[in-house]
Chains A and B, each alone.
Chain A
């Protein structure tokens, strides 16, 4: 089982739609969770951290379910500019502290 798994998509949605992505992780000792956004041929950029109580930033809402070991990202009122690949990231404890990335979910928002 991969450490972090995501549906690769693409998710094709019309402008204004609500879309949700899930991500599952295998290491139950993981402590920190994040969503990153990556535009084509660019570096990933932090979208938001995911807290145990869930958190919201404008049109974006992130949730963490430790019991089922998944995190989610909800995007409301999708914009054309939301088109990108969304990467799920968890830390991995053990011999150090390192971040493990999912392969990403591609989102295409169409007019």
Chain B
């Protein structure tokens, strides 16, 4: 069966520090991969999605970036965090042929 792992689960970072969140999917090949953010009391915002290695589309211009160095690995990064980057970050995958979306357990980021 397919599984998705995301880490770290929780982190507290100072403003201006870098960020790296990682996500891996097991049990499937060529998945579509996604990064979402959910700010407190708000809906899920699509940040990036990827249909293959090094193929990434950005939905929102901001100080975040994403990379997909391997088929089942998706990384969210920032060189300098802002207070507004605080939120609940969710990695997700879907089959290449469009189907349901499955989420990792999320990473809760607090920027101070």
Instruction: Flag whether A57 is at the interface (Cβ < 8 A).
Output: no
B22 vs chain A, min Cβ distance (A): 16
Count of chain A to chain B residue pairs whose CB atoms are closer than 8 Å in the complex:
54
Question: Do A104 and B43 have beta carbons less than 8 Å apart?
Answer: yes
Using Cβ atoms and an 8 Å threshold, which residues of chain B touch A103?
A: 42-43
Question: Do A46 and B51 have beta carbons less than 8 Å apart?
Answer: no
Please give me the residue from chain A that is nearest to B106 by CB atom.
A43
Question: Do B46 and A99 have beta carbons less than 8 Å apart?
Answer: yes
Task: State the A residues within 8 Å of B (CB).
Answer: 31-32, 34, 41-46, 49, 87, 89, 91, 95-104
Q: Can you show 12 pairs from A to B with CB atoms below 8 A apart?
A: A32-B98, A41-B108, A43-B103, A43-B104, A44-B44, A49-B100, A96-B49, A97-B51, A97-B94, A98-B34, A99-B46, A104-B43
